Chains A and B, each alone.
Chain A
Amino acid sequence: MPLSAESLTKNFFRESKDSNCFSAVEELSLRLEEGTVTVLTGRSGGGKTTVLNMMSGLLVPTKGRVLLDDTDIYSLTDKELSKLRNDRFGVVPQGQTAIHSLNVIENILLPYAIYGEKTDDAVRNRADDLLQRLDIAQLSSAKPAQLSGGELRRMAIARAVIKKPNFIFADEPTGDLDDENTKTVFEFFRSAADEGAAVLIVTHEECAAEYADRVIKMASGKIV
């Protein structure tokens, strides 16, 4: 079941001489299909992150709809939308997003803890496997303060995919990574798509195209 953005528009308040309304995204439509990697690229300030946030249920659009199973996700109550994000969406936000009072493995398992779901052996094994694949297995018990930027980023990726979401949204997932780890992460997302997920990656990395089914370029809030 695809996730479709229909005529999404997002305006922000920003003081300027002409108008206090800044349009970050204008009338954008986008469809994320299962088993595909979509790369969203373009210059900074072009509206990529805003699109990702709106499609992942984190930012209410000014206009337009995001449809899943024929339902606009923004017509759901906060409780329903939150549960949907927990069950079916996996988001890797920009920047450092660790919960500092928890260690690495606790951070990764946090999506289960939010709704009190038990983490059985299968979940634990999956977490260990993710740590292994992202090359941070030795840091399982470490606190976020002890990790480098790149390690934190990979921890956030493991956390986003721990519940095998249908839709993965990654905002600059390789921002702090070297070439080798960048390649590892893109391969990781490719395999997630191959296992059935729809993946949307916002990135400036040109090599991302090698792993994508589709590359979309954005400028001034529009697809170009």
Chain B
Amino acid sequence: MKGFKDLTVKSLLGKPVRTAILVLLTVLLTLTVLDGSLTESSLETGIDSLEARLGADVMVVPYSATTKQKFENIVLQGSTGYFYMGKNYVDEISRIEGVGEMSEQFYLASASTSCCSIPVQIIGYDPDTDFTITPWVKKSYGKKLDTYDVVVGNDLNAFVGDILYFYGVRVKVAAKLEKTGTSYDTTVFTNADTIKELIRSSLELKMNDFSDVDPDNVVSCVLINVADGYNAEEVTNNINLHVKKVKAIQTKEMISGVSDSLSGVSSVIGILIGAVWVLGAVIMLLAFTMSVNERKKEFAVLRVMGASRGKLASLVIKEALLIGLAGSLLGTLTGLVIMIGFGGLIEQLLGLPFLLPSAGAVIGYAIAAVALTVVTGADAAAVSAFRISRIDTGVILRGDN
């Protein structure tokens, strides 16, 4: 044996079951802390991403869309659907005081029948006036979208160069967007000309609920940024007051519902992390206390040979550090595999925007989880070591304690 340090490793290897149980405990603690924190952070990132994607102060949709909650479901929940209002409303809205930038969007849901490659939400936008989708599409596709070109969301099983069919119309995938953690990850985007062609084709195939709609004279919604000197609430009220049969909604209000849900979920996760951490710390303290108690004769023998209280404490703490390090690294690895591999499933289960934070932030969370677990284990071991070191060696050897 090279030194006292070797005793740490030999003690751990000499009791494989005890060591394995302690490692497993630290794996579970790290896993819970890391995945809980990442879930909480992903929800926050998701809502930020959603806010950025909406990118407008006010959205105006046909009144019927809001009563059926179609609109919010499409934007927030990822449901497929479509609704239309006459283009004349766009002119009316543009005359409302305080309206600044304005752009139209067109919605269509593809069907799951043979006419369409995949059942998805299709959103058409006007590249000349758009200020919400274009900046984001540009990150993946620098050119202007040609007719019959589409850009697909990150979660869709389609790739650049693929040919897709919607209502019998052949379109080409020009780009795939980066992940947003929102319903837009399962959406197909195209320009206004292409979507009008798709709407027309869906009408010809009698697969559109709006049989009398003229694609050239309808829009699904109007996105608005308010002019300088006005606020969104004021402009929203003005539109709702002066334009009939439409509903203006502040995007902040739309998101506030999601934010409230997020806040509730975040609080629950926060409480759970705290509870699991406290429980984990208590279990670790008990586990180390039991382990130290079981070995008190061994520690007494080391004292007999001249090990000081400090040396005994360092032996126990080093063991805890090794266990903590091994367990937390394993827990971190497992936690990352779960979050990266099953992020989509978690998003579905929570029904909220969900986007993993940046790689740097994920590494930060992982380091924090490892540090928290290792420190918790070392503290639990230190408390146990301190308690045992206070007992007279002679008393332990007598077997009275």
Contacts and interface: CB of A to CB of B under 8 A. Distances in A.
Answer yes or no: are A and B bound together in one complex. yes
Interface of A: 12, 49-50, 53-54, 56, 58-60, 78-79, 82-87, 89, 91, 93-95, 97-102, 106, 109-111, 113-116, 159
Size band of the interface chain B makes with A: 20 to 34
Given A82-B303, A102-B7, 14 more contacts: A12-B400, A49-B397, A50-B394, A53-B394, A58-B304, A59-B395, A82-B311, A85-B305, A91-B305, A94-B397, A101-B11, A101-B15, A109-B1, A113-B6
Given A59-B393, A99-B7, A110 B305 contact: yes
Given A58-B392, A59-B395, A100-B14, A159 B310 contact: no
B43 to A, nearest CB: 47
Contacts of A99: 7, 298, 301-302
Interface in B292-319: 297-298, 300-311
A58 B305 CA distance: 10
Interface in B382-401: 392-395, 397-400
Contacts of B10: 101-102, 106
Interface of B: 1-4, 6-7, 10-11, 13-15, 297-298, 300-311, 392-395, 397-400
B392 A85 contact: no
B7 A101 contact: yes
Given A85-B306, A101-B11, A53 B1 contact: no
A82 B302 CA distance: 10
B48 to A, nearest CB: 52
Nearest to A10: B394
Nearest to B392: A59
Contacts of B398: 49-50, 53
B303 A58 contact: yes
A114 B306 contact: yes
Interface of B is mostly: helix
Q: Which 9 A-B pairs have the closest CB atoms?
A: A86-B306, A101-B14, A59-B394, A53-B394, A82-B308, A58-B394, A85-B306, A101-B10, A58-B393
A110 B1 contact: yes
A58 B306 contact: no
Nearest to A91: B304
B60 to A, nearest CB: 75
A106 B10 CA distance: 11
Nearest to A116: B3
A145 B297 CA distance: 16
A85 B301 CA distance: 12
Nearest to B15: A101
A1 to B, nearest CB: 19
A8 B53 CA distance: 83
A159 B305 contact: yes
A53 B391 CA distance: 14
18 contacts: A12-B400, A50-B394, A53-B398, A56-B304, A58-B392, A82-B309, A84-B306, A85-B303, A85-B306, A93-B300, A95-B399, A101-B7, A109-B1, A110-B1, A110-B302, A114-B305, A116-B4, A159-B305
A111 B310 contact: no
A114 B311 contact: yes
A194 B303 CA distance: 27
Name which of B306, B308, B311, B395 has the most chain A CB atoms within 10 A of its CB: B306
B301 A97 contact: yes
Contacts of A50: 394, 398
Nearest to A109: B1
A202 B392 CA distance: 20
Contacts of B395: 59
Given A100-B14, A101-B7, A86 B305 contact: yes
Name which of A12, A54, A113, A116 has the most chain B CB atoms within 10 A of its CB: A113
A56 B303 CA distance: 11
A93 B297 CA distance: 11
A53 B305 contact: no
A99 B397 CA distance: 14
A159 to B, nearest CB: 7
A49 B7 CA distance: 29
Contacts of A97: 297, 301, 304
Contacts of B393: 53, 58-59
A78 B389 CA distance: 11
B399 to A, nearest CB: 8
Contacts of A83: 306, 308
B301 A93 contact: yes
Contacts of B3: 113, 116
A148 B4 CA distance: 26
A87 B307 CA distance: 11
Contacts of A98: 301
Contact of A60 (B13, B310, B392, B399): B392
